[in-house]
Copies of this chain bind each other. A is one copy, B any other.
Amino acid sequence: MNKVYDVLIIGGGIIGHSISFFLNKCGVHTVVVDKQASGNKATQAAAGMLGVHTENEKTGAYHKFCEKSRDLYGGLHKELREITSIDIELSKFGMAEVAVHPDEKKRLHSKKMSFPYLTWEEGQSLRERIPALSENALGALFMQEDGHVEPRQVCEALKRAALYYGGDVLEDQAVIGFKKKGDSFTVNMEHSTVSAEHVVVASGADSGRWFKDTGLCNPIVPTKGECFSIKMREKFFNEALFFRDFYVVPKADGRCIVGATSKAGDQSTDTSAGGLSDLMNRVFSHFPEWREAAFLNFWSGVRPGTEDGVPVIGEHPSISKLYFATGHYRNGILLAPATGQLLKNMITKKKIDPSIQALFSANRLVERGESTYEYSS
């Protein structure tokens, strides 16, 4: 038993390190514990889109939270670069959601009603600008403010900035269990034991166990996503393009990231041949020329889906000072800054917007009947 931390965070992905960054920056000292290296799971697999308007059809508390998080990236870009010299590669080129079917066009027009500042580009103009697009493309809704970042750089920069502000990191250490004794938690890891005033579960698709172990329903649905990348000789467009069942994100060096399958309940770490094949077939039907592109790489990640599609961010209903910040599904990169800030506000007892608090609350996971709760090991 070495040290008493203010906060121990289980999970060294982008969410865990964002929480750690915001807390340490205001003097609350944390340790982030991960069973592997940081950013090694859903974070490394993500394309990094900040899809505020691809992930929302209309305004509301969730849209507001997304927008706030995206806007935090502007300041983070500069701040992280100054502290760590790492460039998170924030793109200013926007995103476009492409319609390839009249129904989608209709849906996008309705979305434009909700968000009048988005702009519609007709098919012909779009195809002239992006010649690789097939005749299928009927137009696109352009979201100037929604760009993308490089997720691994963000995670590494947040981690290093948190270290700079006094935080700590333990990697290659699985958390075996924790017990609350009086006012603090004793946390057993494979190779050591530490104490902490607060515990935050931010372990993404591996979070399920901690809900069950603390007497709650497990809302986590691990959902595998498979991606690949190709390399075109010349880069021909700058914005990320979002289709109904795939997206493409162009990178500065001519690579283009294509994602992603969505396999609920699959937490294996390999990339299935069939998943890859389906994704390729989809992409080539809309970008026939890309069949000539060089295939570069493929990978997969397991994203923390939830049963109701909403993250769980908040305190445990009955164990005080135990928090959850998980279940972001494919929006973990987008929501990392706002989630970090929200947890910081919760733990430091700042005032929280009630609609946000209600939306993400863990209270929806209380089971009826007798609890079998034993959160030790």
Which A residues have a C-beta under 8 Å from some C-beta of B? 35, 84-87, 89, 91, 156, 160, 163, 172, 174, 176-177, 190-191, 206, 208-209, 213, 222, 228, 230-231, 234-235, 238, 252-254, 267-277, 280-281, 284, 290-295, 298, 374, 376-377
Contact = CB atoms under 8 A, between A and B. Distances in A.
Contacts of A376: 374, 376-377
Given A176-B176, A177-B377, A252-B86, A277 B280 contact: yes
A174 B174 contact: yes
A273 B290 contact: yes
A284 to B, nearest CB: 6
A238 to B, nearest CB: 8
Contacts of A272: 291-295
Contacts of A230: 273
A76 to B, nearest CB: 15
A36 to B, nearest CB: 9
Q: Give the most central of A267, A280, A295: most B CB within 10 Å.
A: A295
B253 A273 contact: no
Given A174-B35, A252-B86, A291 B274 contact: yes
A295 B271 contact: yes
Nearest to A295: B273
Copies in the complex: 4
Going nearest first, the 7 A-B pairs with the smallest beta carbon separation are: A274-B291, A85-B252, A270-B294, A277-B280, A273-B295, A377-B377, A86-B252
A163 B252 contact: no
A268 B177 contact: no
Contacts of A292: 272-274
B270 A280 contact: no
Given A85-B91, A172-B269, 9 more contacts: A85-B238, A87-B87, A190-B206, A191-B267, A231-B270, A270-B294, A272-B291, A272-B295, A274-B292
Contacts of A274: 284, 290-293
A172 B267 CA distance: 9
A54 B298 CA distance: 33
Contact of A298 (B172, B275, B295): B295
Nearest to A164: B234
5 contacts: A177-B377, A213-B377, A273-B280, A273-B292, A377-B377
A276 to B, nearest CB: 5
A172 B268 CA distance: 8
A277 B273 contact: no
A341 B136 CA distance: 46
Contact of A280 (B35, B172, B280): B280
